[in-house]
Amino acid sequence: MLGKTAGGLFWMFRYLERAENTARMIDAGLRISLTRSSAAESEWTAILSSTGLSETYASLHGEPYGAKIIDFLLRDPNNPASIMAQIEGARMNARVVRTALTREVWEAVNECYMVLKRLLSQPVEDRDLPRVLQIIRQRSAFVRGAKHGSMVRNDMYNFGRIGTFFERADNTARILDQKYYILLPSVRLVGSASDNVQWDTILRATSTTRAYQTLHEGETDPMAIARFLILDGRLPRSLAFSYRKIEENLGFLAEEYNARHECHALADNLCGRFKTRDMNAIFEYGLHEFISDFLRDSAALGRQIEIDYRFSE
Amino acid sequence: MPNTPKYFDEMNGTGSGPRLPYEAYCKWFAGENNARLLEKSEEAEALFRLIGVTFNVYGDPDATERLIPFDLVPRIIAAREWALLSKGIEQRVRALNAFLHDIYHRQEIVRAGRMPAEMIARNEAFLPQMIGVSPPGDVYTHIVGTDLVRTGDDEFFVLEDNARTPSGVSYMLENRETMLHMFPELFSKVKVRSVGQYPRSLRRSLSACAPDACEGRPRLAVLTPGIHNSAYYEHAFLADQMSAELVEGHDLRVVDGRVAMRTTQGYKAIDVLYRRVDDEYLDPMNFNPDSMLGVPGIMDVYRAGGITIANAPGTGIADDKAIYSYMPDIVEFYTGEKAILKNVPTHRCSDPQALKYVLDNLSELVVKEVHGSGGYGMLVGPAASKKEIEAFRAKLTAKPDNYIAQPTLALSTVPILTEAGLAPRHVDLRPFALMSPERVDITPGGLTRVALTEGSLIVNSSQGGGTKDTWVLED
């Protein structure tokens, strides 16, 4: 398989995952602005920050303002990381790697693109927003499902999967990075209503509210939320889960190619952090430091995968 | 009122009921309702969009991906007609291949006085780098698309021989898939010869041309200029269908005397490269130094027998339109037989007498650039305005060598589906022939292109033409 194709699959699924996650974040922001208008602007600013696009936004539009931010994240042609741009990126990569995709996967991603191109051709009205966000998540899920149901479990499949989980872990970590301060143990002493809303936003931005409640019987506790998103191997959006998958998929590649690389060592190291440490140890080390380390090391892993599997020259 | 020329309609002939090959289809059609068929038409379009059977139009930023319109009335060819056509194509393909070998070796055809030396020496498509080179299996034209037109019951002409990198075969295949999907019942009523074997035949044919350096099962790759190329869909489609890698220049480099592709496990040698990149861009070391699309040094590997390039570099000279005018001689010279398929009478404007005739009769002739393709840079006299003719006259006078002229043919028509029912439109046909050392393999049918505008004779997709499924009936 061509190195370029491996790279195309990795990026195609990263883009799709990111588009879906951006939709989740807009959804969380929307929820807050509907229920607690006083907190809304600062929430939008935080969401913008976790997408890493604050500067791009500021240079184009100046002051953060809810409706502007929504449009910016959804479809602004000047935003290279808008949902539309992600979907276009996913489809462009899908065209490059078309020979590595089943017809089902190609059609799912092409249809995703065609549907969103139409829906996002002009600003989305408030009343249509929830529906549009739902369609984005749904279309992305179709691609994942088509892949799951139709692709042979070989290197092609594994590169795509690594892209998905790499991006997902990165996203969850970025949201935690934005909100780490409300999850610190000291916050529990404060226990005000505003913190509850903040916790709620984190869960919403990762679409894990329901899962959290099921597993924690309704008790909202910041430490439990942090443990849930970082260490809980049952949650498909947690860092532990995503990295177990990355380790597994890289492992399949090592087996198929009969060769281990530098990236395997890096992934094992990252994975080990979620296996051996309990939440108290992480707090002791510093939640913010833990997440910063993670983001730095996962970026290094991404670069190493590109090198080891020759995505480009 | 100008005289309306009488065209041969392939469905209705002279007008008294359908011609024999169309009988079964017309019977089926009579039971159909136009509105339902138009709906089917939209269904087909949605299907093409979803699959992504699109092409890019150069210089049209608003429409980076367009569909080639598909008309769902098939073009039907009788078994007897096809037998003659395929025999004629095979003869022509063999002659072209022998001609290419000859002009890059001893040039017997020139020595015999059958073709002037300057036709070759001064030809831009002649590649001096190919002199004395014998490609693996001595095959130059692995894939040929022969453009045919019809003017009457038994009147077929070859319009062009596409021997560089003929495109359109993916449409031939997708059109059939679409028809099978939409009208399964029709195929149980009419026995149509299958086209679906083409990718397998292509794989087999290319593999049979593997170079001596090949060890084991030949490794194939399709070289594309990339996703922005107008025929990218086809490149991806063919690579996929014949389980070859789809590569771009930057995936390749010369490693240990072989052309190799960068895989996730290091560089791996390629045996046969089906390139959809023009000669000029193939090798920046040997041709255009600015090319980003090719592989530096591939020509050196090629000359040393390290890789098969399909079609061989330098085959472009065989689809040059001035060379075309010599085709009857070429066929006779190399096969010892009269050409089965006729050429359109062609005036070479490089000849002063011919030029005078052409200039005097511009409004009746079709004038084409010698190296042109895609329907660009041509004049269709009867359809052109006075102003267009005068502008063309200036271009022609300035560079007569660059043009040939042909009489405007009364191209046959086949009906298309319109809102008002069936309406005749002009068509051509591009069958695809595969050549290997053992055989010439021609897929029954080919790509029918149809001019969708009433009266238009230009069928090129870049100029608003569409396509049809082409049926060759079982005997």
Helix pair A103-119, A3-35: axis angle to 10 deg:
40
Are A99 and B52 inside 8 Å of each other by CB?
Answer: no
Chain A residues within 8 A of B262 when measuring between CB atoms: 2-4, 310, 313
pLDDT recorded at residue B1: 36
Tokens 């927003």 -> residue: A129
A42 touches chain B (CB under 8 A): no
* Percent of chain A scoring above 70 in pLDDT: 94
> Which of A187-196, B58-67, B398-407 has the largest mean confidence?
B398-407
Listed ranges A224-228, A290-294, B284-288; the one with the highest mean pLDDT:
A290-294
Q: Can you read off the two tokens belonging to residue B382?
A: 């009867």
Beta bridge partners of A232: none
Residue B321 has pLDDT above 70, yes or no: yes
Name the burial class of residue A62, with classes exposed (0-12), middle (13-18) and buried (19+) by CB atoms within 10 angstroms of its CB. exposed
| pLDDT value for B463 | 75
Cis peptide before B311 (omega within 30 of 0): yes
Cβ atoms of B358 and B397 within 8 Å: the answer is no
pLDDT single digits (tens) B148-165? 999 998 899 999 999 988
A121 pLDDT above the threshold of 80 = yes
Scanning every residue of chain B, which has its alpha carbon at the shortest distance from the alpha carbon of A259?
A: B265
Burial pattern A217-256, b for ≥16 Cβ within 10 A else e, equals: eeeeebbbbbbbbbbbeebebbbbbbbbbbbebbebbeee
Output phi, psi for B64, to 5 deg.
Answer: -70, -30
DSSP state of A218: T
- Segment A230-244 shows an average pLDDT of 95
The pLDDT of residue A295 is: 96
Contacts of B171 (CB under 8 A, 6+ apart): B53, B68, B234, B447, B467
Nearest CB neighbour to A2, from listed B52, B232, B247: B247
Q: Mean pLDDT lowest for which of B121-135, B311-325, B370-384?
A: B370-384
Distances (CA, A) of A117 to A11, A77, A105, A123, A146: 20, 12, 18, 12, 20
Distance from C-alpha of B323 to C-alpha of B126, rounded to nearest angstrom: 11
Tokens of B32: 């159909």
pLDDT tens-digit profile of A247-264? 999 999 999 999 999 999
CB contact under 8 A, A2 and B264: yes
- In the 8-state DSSP scheme, what is residue B131? T
**Among all chains, which residue has been given the structure tokens 């799912």?**
A108
Give the minimum alpha-carbon distance from B261 to chain A in angstroms, rounded to a whole number: 7
Average pLDDT in the B5-15 region?
A: 82
Residue A186: the pLDDT is 65
- Chain A positions in Cβ-Cβ contact with residue B250 (cut-off 8 Å): 4, 312-313
The residue-averaged pLDDT of B464-468 equals: 91
pLDDT above 70 (res B441): yes
Q: Which residue of A has its CA nearest to B253?
A: A313
Instruction: Reduce the DSSP state of residue B49 to 3 states and report it.
Output: helix
Share of chain B above pLDDT 90, in %: 77
The radius of gyration of chain B from alpha carbons, rounded to an integer in Å, stands at 22
A111: chain B residues, CB-CB within 8 Å = 50
In chain A, which residues have their Cβ closer than 8 Å to the Cβ of B265?
A: 257, 259
Selected residue with higher pLDDT from B398 and A189: B398
Q: Across chain B, what does the average pLDDT equal? A: 91
User: Is residue B113 pLDDT above 70, yes or no?
Assistant: yes
> Which one has a higher pLDDT value, B60 or B415?
B415
Scanning every residue of chain B, which has its alpha carbon at the shortest distance from the alpha carbon of A95?
B227
Predicted local distance difference test score (pLDDT) of residue A49: 86
- CA B220, CA B270: separation in Å to the nearest integer? 6
A125: helix, coil or strand?
Answer: coil
B151/chain A closest Cα distance in angstroms = 41
- pLDDT above 90 as % of chain A: 68
Mean pLDDT to the nearest integer, A277-303: 92
State residue A86's pLDDT score.
Answer: 96
pLDDT digits (tens, 9 = 90+) for B174-186: 999 999 999 999 9
pLDDT of residue A195: 60
Q: Please judge whether B236 and A4 are an interchain contact, meaning their C-beta atoms are less than 8 angstroms apart.
A: no
Q: Verify whether the Cβ–Cβ distance A103 to B232 is below 8 Å.
A: no
Q: How far is CA B429 from CA B84, B178, B460, in A?
A: 14, 19, 11
Tell me what the mean pLDDT of segment B47-76 comes to: 79
Residue of chain B whose alpha carbon sits nearest to that of A105 = B51
Give me the pLDDT at residue B135, please: 96
- Given the structure tokens 């511009």, which residue do they identify? B362
Best to test chain B binding among A93, A99, A115, A313 (most B CBs inside 10 Å): A99
Tens-digit pLDDT profile for residues B26-52: 999 999 999 999 999 999 999 888 888
Whether A38 has a pLDDT exceeding 80, the answer reads no
Cβ under 8 Å to B: A residues 78-107 = 92, 95-96, 98-99, 103, 106-107
Q: Kindly list the residues from chain A whose CB atom is less than 8 angstroms away from the CB atom of residue B235.
A: none
| pLDDT tens-digit series, residues B224-240 | 999 988 889 999 999 99
pLDDT the model gives residue B291: 81
> Count of A–B CB contacts within 8 Å?
60
pLDDT of residue B3: 43
Output the pLDDT for position B320: 83
pTM of structure:
0.91
Highest mean pLDDT among A59-73, A86-100, B6-20: A86-100
Q: Could you tell me which chain B residue has the CA closest to the CA of A98?
A: B236
Residue B434 or residue A188, greater confidence: B434
Return the residue of A nearest to B250 by Cα.
A313
Q: What is the pLDDT of residue A313?
A: 84
pLDDT at B383: 84
Backbone phi, psi, residue B405, to 5°: -135, 145
> What would the DSSP string read from start to end of B171-213?
HHHHHHHHHHHH-HHHHHHS-B---TTHHHHHHHHHHTT--TT
B427: confidence class by pLDDT, cuts 50, 70, 90: very high
